[in-house]
Amino acid sequence: MTQSYLARSGFGPWRSRGHGSRALLFVLETALGAVSVVLLAALAHWFTWLLPIAALLYLLVVVPTSLLCGFWQSAIVSLTAVLAQGWFTAQQPDLSLAANPANWITLVVFVAVALTVSWLSARITEHAREVESRGGQMEDLYEFTRRTLQMNLHMEPGQQLAELVHGIFDLEAVAVFDADLHEVYEAGYWNVDPQELAQNVYYFETSDDDGESGIGRRVVRLGSVPIGSLVVRGDTSPLINNAIASLIAITFDRYRAFANESRIETERRTEQLRATVLDSLAHAYKTPLTAIRAASTGLSEMGRLSAGQADLVALIDEQTSLLSELTTRLLTTARLDADDVAIHVEQVNAGTLVEEVVGSLKDRLASMKVKIEIENDELAVHCDRQLMAMLLTQYIDNACKYANFGTTITIRVVSTGSEAIFSVHSYGPVIPIADRERIFDRYYRSSGYAKSAPGTGIGLSVAKRAAQIHGGYVWVTSEEQEGSTFFAAIPLEKQRS
């Protein structure tokens, strides 16, 4: 927008100087037009022009006055022309209004034409100003849209948006409230507290335009959900304020999506690094653990050990076995996290698989009651035998750790048509509802389980990953009277990649 346009349309510094400046401008415009028609009346009197000729000359002043100044200025100038013409013709009795009634008709027609032309030109001028104003605002809106698309989304967008709106739309002051971060960003000069003003718009969901103060308020919404607010002071239209609020909502949404994507990517890289470190450490631990186990076994076979020495060697051997098992889990976890993990699918009888796993854990299950329920002895699953054995081992080992003494661990396998449901049931501490999803996350331990037995929080995450590799899923139920049951649903047929 140019400064001349701002002056004509009533926007900007030319019109913002106050009522006194506008009144003075009105008087000057009217006085200039009035003086012009008085001079024309004097010339018409001097040269004794007929009234129709003088009326046409008056129109040459009235029409430009209407176009450049406004309707009321041109109306006053028109009446001045009538009065001046009446006064000068009174000096010439033969040309007076009374001497020739046609002069009355001429003056009435002149006044009607002058006022009509003034009104029409004022309407056309106002329409042109509105069109020009809208065109300028559309250009500003396009520029604002373009600049928001180029914003640096690594930074919070609130302050950037406030400064863009203030600069592009030439406003006196702008405040943008981001409800998610609970921050108010401002630009320009505020004579009131923008913090409270912007927050009130959001909390009370106030959207309006105050013509007297020039303040526009908008709730920034994403769909129907309020996510912030916009307050502006200056010359903008309600439609432009709505558009600005919508673009701010879109920018907030883009920033959150970008931040979430960056967070996910960071977590993925962190997880890859963690898996790499686990794999490296597990391999590094294997060699000394093998040496320690060999040494403890050699000491046991040598004999001639005292009772105390034999107990120490047995303790070394027991803890070495525990460390070796934990290292194996770390290796397995790292390998399961690899994107290029390969599985060897074969048809495995479900009952045989369960018996093999139970047999491998006979030492752990020696003091427990175990019940196996297989729905169909012929039930077979297309799976990686080693991974499925690992999943069941984690479930059964978990039950051994936390089951109440003297209760029964029940292992079931049933078919639902397209899936085989493996479950391990036991009676022990109840798993809180809030933990039943997170208990399968790595390193997370339920508050109900943490004090019952030592653990690393790795086992169940390995079971979950093993099920996912097969295209299956896991879940748990836990009630005080019913006990806890860990489930794994595995497709019966091989999943297509």
Average pLDDT by consecutive 10-residue portion of the chain (497 residues)?
Answer: 37 44 82 83 74 72 74 77 73 52 61 71 70 68 86 86 90 92 91 89 89 89 90 88 91 86 72 64 70 78 78 81 72 60 84 92 84 91 89 90 88 91 92 82 62 60 87 91 92 68
Q: Within this chain, do residues 7 and 129 fall inside the same structural domain, yes or no?
A: yes
Report yes or no: 337 and 272 within 8 Å, Cβ to Cβ: yes
Q: Within this chain, do residues 307 and 382 fall inside the same structural domain, yes or no?
A: no
Place of tokens 């002071």: 233
pTM of this prediction?
0.43
Cross-strand partners of 215:
210, 233
In which domain, by residue range, is 54 found?
3-143
Last residue of a domain, one of 261, 277, 295: 261
The maximal CA–CA distance of the chain, rounded, in angstroms, is: 157
Q: Within this chain, do residues 327 and 354 fall inside the same structural domain, yes or no?
A: no
Residue 357 is assigned to a structural domain of this protein: yes
Q: What is the pLDDT of residue 354?
A: 94
Residue 412 is assigned to a structural domain of this protein: yes
Q: What is the pLDDT of residue 11?
A: 35
Q: Within this chain, do residues 59 and 112 fall inside the same structural domain, yes or no?
A: yes
DSSP E strands in 303-385: the ranges are 345-349, 369-374, 380-384
Q: What is the pLDDT of residue 184?
A: 93
Q: Within this chain, do residues 55 and 71 fall inside the same structural domain, yes or no?
A: yes
The number of folded domains in the chain is: 4
Last residue of a domain, one of 305, 337, 369: 337
The Cα 231–Cα 192 span in angstroms is 12
Residue 352 is assigned to a structural domain of this protein: yes
Q: Which amino acid is at 108?
A: V
Report yes or no: 447 and 415 within 8 Å, Cβ to Cβ: no
Strand order in the sheet with 473-479: 369-374, 408-415, 419-426, 483-491, 473-479
Last residue of a domain, one of 261, 277, 301: 261
Q: What is the DSSP letter of 404?
A: P
Q: What is the CATH number of the domain that holds 422?
A: 3.30.565.10
| DSSP-derived secondary structure for 132-175 | HHHHHHHHHHHHHHHHHHTS-TTS-HHHHHHHHHHHHTT-SEEE
Query: Residue 318 class from Cβ within 10 Å (0-12 exposed, 13-18 middle, 19+ buried)?
Result: exposed
Q: Within this chain, do residues 218 and 253 fall inside the same structural domain, yes or no?
A: yes
CA-based R_g, the chain, Å: 45
Q: Within this chain, do residues 21 and 120 fall inside the same structural domain, yes or no?
A: yes
| Pairing assessment for the beta strands 408-415 and 369-374 based on DSSP bridges | parallel
Half-sphere CA count of 259, side-chain side, radius 13 A: 12
Residue 451 is assigned to a structural domain of this protein: yes
Q: Within this chain, do residues 470 and 417 fall inside the same structural domain, yes or no?
A: yes
Q: Within this chain, do residues 27 and 106 fall inside the same structural domain, yes or no?
A: yes
Q: What is the pLDDT of residue 301?
A: 77
Q: How far is CA 303 from the centre of its chain?
A: 72
Residue 149 is assigned to a structural domain of this protein: no
Q: Within this chain, do residues 307 and 388 fall inside the same structural domain, yes or no?
A: no
Residue 496 is assigned to a structural domain of this protein: no
Place of tokens 């002056």: 7
Cross-strand partners of 491:
419
Residue 154 is assigned to a structural domain of this protein: no
Cross-strand partners of 424:
411, 486
Helix (H, G, I), strand (E, B) or coil at 216: strand
Q: Within this chain, do residues 272 and 254 fall inside the same structural domain, yes or no?
A: no
Alpha-helix runs per DSSP H in 205-306: 238-302
Q: Within this chain, do residues 131 and 7 fall inside the same structural domain, yes or no?
A: yes
Q: What is the CATH number of the domain that holds 230?
A: 3.30.450.40
Residue 115 is assigned to a structural domain of this protein: yes
Place of tokens 């020039």: 214
